Amino acid sequence: MEAAIVTNGLTRTFDGLRAVDRLDLEVPQGIIFGFLGPNGAGKTTTIRLLLGLLEPTAGSAKVLGFDLSQADRIREHVGVVLEQPGLYTRLSAYDNLDFFAAAYRVPATQRKARIRDLLTHLGLWERRNDFVDTYSKGMKQKLAFARALLHRPSLIFMDEPTAGLDVPSAAALREDIVNLVRGSGTTVFLTTHNLAEAESMCDLIAVINKGKLVTVDTPDRLRTGARKPQVRIVGRGFSPQAVDALRRLPQVISVTQSKGSLHVTIRRGDKVSPVVKALTEQGAEIEEVVHTTASLEEAFLALLDETDGQDGGESRGRN
């Protein structure tokens, strides 16, 4: 099956700043693809390039098999939820969807049922005749999502869809996204700063930093593979001398102590046995050694740290 999105060396510069820097991506069809990176990493710029809203400086991409020069065709087949919902605030929710359904050329005979289905599904049917400017932020986001789905797109771009929503609204929207997308073969390209959200929703996660792709992997493998190994050592007699001895070991990156246990970060590829040996030599008694799994947040920060160190100086720093 052809990928939903393929980019080859996709690049966009703004006054010499490489906002997107030789990006090679392949997004398989039918999955929820997370596109993560710090502020200014190039996520929104990438989406704008893929929608044909911005010209690449170099490189190329195909979206649903269409070249970026065929932006009209791309936009016919994709749905978008961008940072600004872009709704008509002086129209009702229903009229907004009716307007966009016509613009997307949803056949007139199907429009009404489609709008009713979507609004009912998202819990907005009762409020369909209210002006959008009386909607809360979360309701507007849901409506923007409904608009993105009107023409049954096979690919949806969502740029921080849950940003600024309260916990229940964000959870409800996430559930809606997953429910409406799963099993339908639709591909979702999603950016978020919420790592728990990315972890729970995404099949694959790409991390981008300073315009460059850092990695693409499943949330699980990102957590376990991208981090430096950590162990928690439970026991007694962890004297300051014992802790110092650990810190002097070449394998050990850091040691912290809490409630009778030590948290030791080890260099990748190194074993835990020298740590245990050093502790026992210092008279500590070890009851348990537990390998702890990093959170996606830790893995993400570690990846950014590593890539910040490799910067060739051609891009500006993050933030």
Ligand X SMILES: Nc1ncnc2c1ncn2[C@@H]1O[C@H](COP(=O)(O)OP(=O)(O)OP(=O)(O)O)[C@@H](O)[C@H]1O
Place of tokens 């069809």: 29
Contacts of 53 (CB under 8 A, 6+ apart): 71
Q: Least distance from C-beta 53 to ligand X, angstroms? A: 10
H or E element that contains 42: none
Using Cβ positions, the residue closest to Mg ion within the complex turns out to be: 44
Q: How many residues bind Mg ion (CB under 5 A)?
A: 2
DSSP 276-318: HHHHHHTT-EEEEEEEEPPPHHHHHHHHHHHHHHT--SSSPPP
Write b or e for each residue in 303-317: b if 16 or more Cβ atoms lie within 10 A of its Cβ, otherwise e: bbeebeeeeeeebee
| CB closer to Mg ion out of 17 and 234 | 17
CA–CA gap between residue 166 and residue 178 (Å, rounded): 18
**Contacting residues toward ligand X, per CB under 6 A:** 14, 17, 19, 37, 39-45
| CB closer to Mg ion out of 5 and 208 | 208
Q: Least distance from C-beta 227 to ligand X, angstroms? A: 23
Q: Six-digit token pair at 274?
A: 């020298």
| CB closer to ligand X out of 50 and 87 | 50
CA–CA gap between residue 173 and residue 180 (Å, rounded): 10
Assess 192 for contact with Mg ion (CB under 5 A). no
- Contact between 284 and 236 (Cβ < 8 Å): yes
| CB closer to Mg ion out of 5 and 36 | 36
| CB closer to ligand X out of 45 and 186 | 45
141 binds, among Mg ion, ligand X, none (CB under 5 to 8 A by kind): none
- Contact between 101 and 143 (Cβ < 8 Å): no
132 binds, among Mg ion, ligand X, none (CB under 5 to 8 A by kind): none
Q: Least distance from C-beta 190 to ligand X, angstroms? A: 12
| CB closer to Mg ion out of 47 and 255 | 47
204 binds, among ligand X, Mg ion, none (CB under 5 to 8 A by kind): none
Which residues from 30-89 bind Mg ion, rule CB under 5 A? Answer: 43-44
Residue 186 C-beta-side C-alpha neighbours within 13 Å: 25
Q: Least distance from C-beta 186 to ligand X, angstroms? A: 23
41 binds, among Mg ion, ligand X, none (CB under 5 to 8 A by kind): ligand X
Burial label for 195, CB within 10 Å (0-12, 13-18, 19+), is buried
Q: Least distance from C-beta 32 to Mg ion, angstroms? A: 18
Q: Least distance from C-beta 82 to Mg ion, angstroms? A: 9
| CB closer to ligand X out of 96 and 191 | 191
Q: Least distance from C-beta 215 to ligand X, angstroms? A: 16
- Contact between 210 and 318 (Cβ < 8 Å): yes
The contact set with Mg ion (CB under 5 A) reads 43-44
